[in-house]
Amino acid sequence: MLSDEAQLLVTHAHEQEYTKYIEAIDDRTVNLTFEGAKISYLRRSTMNALANRQDVTAFIKKTEYPKKGLFHVHDALELADIIEEGGKKLFLLTIKLGLSLEFLSALLAHVDDNDFPMERKKYVIIPRGPHRMAMFKLVNNQALVCAPVLDTGTFDQVILWLSCFPLEVQHDVREPDVYNVGFPQEHLRNEAEEPWAIWRMEDFGSEKKANAEKSRFEWGFTCEGRWYFFREIPDRDVDEDYDVEQEEEVEGKTSEMEDGLWIS
C-alpha cells in the first residue's frame, strides 16, 4: 500500500512494482517477540542483496523516474549511483513505507545511510517542503534498517530501540530475565566463536544491580532503560537449558532464506 506521498506519483503498474519490492522486503525481515516487544529488522547482508544495483536500477526504470513536471534532485542514473554508494538503507525504507522516489532523491541530497539512526528533532526538517510528512514517517519507522553491529568486548554500547535488537535465537532458561541468545555473525564484532555462537544473556532493570553484576559478564549494552549483559554459555554437553535443535532449525531457515533472495 503506497502512502499518500506516493499515490499521486504512480500508475497502477508502478504500484505493482512497489508491491513486489515490499513483499520481498517483508519476506526477508527477521520477526520475533522478546520480553513482549516486537523485533523486526533487516540483516546487513539482506539489505545488500535486496538493494543490489541491478534490482535498484530496474525498479527506478519501471517506475519511470523522474517524471515530467515533478520536482527531483537527481536523474535516474545518478540516483542509482548514489543509492549504491551509500543509500541502500534509505532506499529500502523508502520503498517499504510506500514513499516516492522523488522524496528519496530529495533526501539523498542531504543525508545517507551513515546518518542512521536519525534523531527526530534534527532530521524531520530535511527535506523541507512537500516531503515533510514523508520524512516524519521515515524517521518514525527507521528501526527496520538500524540493527547494530555489537562489539563483544565492551559494555559501552547503546541500542536505541529494542525493536532492532539483532536476535536470531532466543531460549528462556530457568532463572527470571536469563536467556540463551544467538546473533547473526555479521552483527557481531570481535567474535571468535562459530558464526551462530550462543550467549547467556541476563537482563537488569536497574543500573545499580547491573553494575554490581557486571564482573560476571564479558560485554553488554543498554536499551530503553534496561541493561543487557552477556557471557559465554556454560558447557553445552551439561547445560540442559541449551536448545541445540532450536539453533539448528534457525540455521537451516537462514540458509534457505539467503539462497532464495529475490531478483527482479
User: Which CATH number covers residue 180?
Assistant: 3.30.200
- pLDDT tens digits, residue range 10-39? 456 688 899 999 999 999 999 999 988 999
pLDDT grade for 71, boundaries at 50, 70 and 90: very low
Which of 92, 115, 111 is closest to 41 using CA atoms?
A: 92
User: What pLDDT does 69 receive?
Assistant: 46
Q: Per-residue pLDDT for 238 more than 90?
A: no
Mean pLDDT (the chain, rounded): 82
Residue 5 has pLDDT above 80, yes or no: no
Q: Are 137 and 178 in the same domain?
A: no
pLDDT tens digits for 115-165? Answer: 999 988 788 777 677 788 899 999 999 999 999 999 999 999 999 999 999
pLDDT given for residue 234 in this prediction: 67
* Sheet strands (E) in the chain: 30-34, 37-41, 150-151, 169-172, 178-182, 188-189, 198-204, 219-223, 226-232
Mean pLDDT value across residues 3-8 = 48
Considering 46-50, 101-105, 134-138, 166-170, the range whose residues carry the highest mean pLDDT is: 46-50
Same domain, 125 and 219: no
The answer on 210 and 95 residing in a single domain is: no
Q: Residue 233 sits in which domain range?
A: 150-259
Task: Determine the Cα–Cα distance for residues 228 and 177; give it in Å rounded to an integer.
Answer: 10
How much is the average pLDDT of 69-75? Answer: 59
Instruction: Give the pLDDT confidence of 175-211 residue by residue, as tens digits.
Output: 888 999 999 989 998 755 554 568 999 999 999 999 9
Total domains in the chain come to 2
Q: Does any domain span residue 34? A: yes
**Interior angle at CA 52, CA 48 and CA 55, nearest 5:** 140
Q: How confident is the model at residue 235 (pLDDT cuts 50, 70, 90)?
A: low
What's the pTM value of the predicted model, to 2 decimals? 0.81
- Whether residue 264 is contained in a domain is answered as no
The predicted structure's pLDDT at residue 31: 96
- Is the pLDDT reported for residue 243 higher than 60? no
Please tell me the predicted confidence (pLDDT) of residue 15: 87
Are 155 and 48 in the same domain?
Answer: no
User: How buried is residue 33: exposed, middle or buried, by Cβ count under 10 Å (0-12/13-18/19+)?
Assistant: exposed
